[in-house]
Amino acid sequence: MDSLNLGQLALSLTPGPGGPMLSGAAPCPVALSAVINGYRGGMLKDLRQVLATGALESIDQAVVVARPDPDDDLETLRSEWESLTGLPAGDDVYVLKASWDRKRFLIPRAALLSILDRLEAVR
């Protein structure tokens, strides 16, 4: 099975319509696979533009990509990213959320863009 890496985190891929999606296999966070797969399935139509410009948010009915808000526990979210990937989170980050899972996931903007680019490249 193909995969792509974010630091020490290996994200396995699975076939999707028109190109691969994230398989969502552990330890891939639910919010990450939901956002990436939702985008590749036609949701979050403005996601790439939002990420390219560093805009506030990209929102669809079940998935959300947004800049952190004052109520996010950034310390915990950053440490989760860092322990999962071994990479620093930095300040240029987004918080991902899937409606059916309460857990948010913080990811650097560059990392999220990189996933989209690499999935596009292996389609």
Binding segment for another protein (CB under 8 A), chosen from 30-38, 47-55, 85-93, 107-115, is 30-38
Contacts of 80 (CB under 8 A, 6+ apart): 105, 106
Rounded to whole angstroms, the Cα distance separating 4 from 55 reads: 26
Binding segment for another protein (CB under 8 A), chosen from 47-55, 91-99, 108-116, is 91-99
Contact criterion met (CB below 8 Å) for 84 and 11? no
Among 9, 11, 33, 94, binds another protein (CB under 8 A): 33
* Chain centroid offset of residue 18 CA: 19
Per CB under 8 A, residues contacting another protein are 1-2, 13-25, 28, 30, 33-34, 37-38, 40-43, 57, 59, 61-62, 64, 66, 69-73, 76, 97-100, 102, 122-123
